[in-house]
Amino acid sequence: MLLPPALEQFLDLLRCPMCRTRLHPDRGALRCPAGHTFDIARHGYVSLLTGTRATSGDDADMARARDRFLSTGRYEPIRQAVARLAADTVPEQGAVVDVGCGTGYYLAGVLDQRPGARGLGLDTSVRALRSAARAHERAAAATWDVFRPFPLADGVADVVLDVFAPRNPSEFHRVLRPTGRLVVVRPTGRHLAELRGQVPAMVTIDPAKEQRLHQALAPFFEAADTEQVEYATSLTRLEALDLVGMTPSARHLNRADLDDDGLLPHQVTVSLLATAYRPRGNGLRTERGLEGDRGLEGRPAGGSA
């Protein structure tokens, strides 16, 4: 199997998750000097996870629902906000890492704005990574769990994206260049309020989310710029079903419970905050800091928004 071009472009930044040495291609896999081997799937992503596999992240139905919903353009304003916050930081030949990348929708939006940049999406969901590996010609994809040390060298990323995903602040800090930016997107309490109001089993948004985010990031980052994105968007019934189906709420709902035509709203409010953070130069790279985001759009461990 030929090495996917996007993955080849990222090889110099990747490290073996077992021994932290560099990886090289070898007969349809990546291998380190110690002989640790990681298969490249026929769909184009590389399987870097070892040991006990993470069980969270999108399953096949969730990934398909996400693909369909994002293709409607209903979340395009979110993708544009992410691209704006990242654009000023990514140099022409820069590197963008999307942690909990899902289908690669947001990573592709950033790469569209920077023609020479390269991207890497990390996620636990194999089904989502099949889409992420082909989301953009310059986007590589790999299986990974956000709660483990990332398979990347120190200080190699110009931007780290964390869109509706759990967070590992110390690892974000470690892999970012001192001049880099962390872009974090999270919902406000008004996000999809109409949907949550009519579907009681929907996962709620923790009102302490912002406080927890600040506490987790403060030792490593300071906020540089924040955009609030809020708008109303209409939904067809199928779009509403996909919107429910792509969130963690899908694990708590029976599709038959949504057969009532009056249950799903025809319009919802999209409301979120997108913040670009600059790394603090305080030498905390060796500390571990984990902050899960398990709200309505939260993605345990691997991610997928």
Cα distances (angstroms) measured from residue 186 to each of 11, 16, 227: 30, 31, 11
CA-based max dimension of the chain = 60
101 has binding-site annotation: no
Q: How far apart are CA 259 and CA 244, in angstroms?
A: 13
Q: Is 104 annotated as a binding residue?
A: yes
Say how far apart CA 40 and CA 8 lie, in whole Å. 12
* 271 backbone dihedrals φ, ψ, rounded to 5°: -145, 120
252 marked as binding residue:
no
36 annotated to bind ligand: yes
37 annotated ligand binder = no
End-to-end alpha-carbon separation of the chain, Å?
Answer: 30
Element (H, E) at 209: helix 209-217
Handedness of CA 133, 135, 85, 101 (dihedral sign): negative
Q: Determine if residue 16 is labeled as part of a ligand binding site.
A: yes
Residues annotated in a binding site for Zn(2+): 16, 19, 32, 36
Residues annotated in a binding site for S-adenosyl-L-methionine: 75, 103-104, 191
Residues annotated in a binding site: 16, 19, 32, 36, 75, 103-104, 191
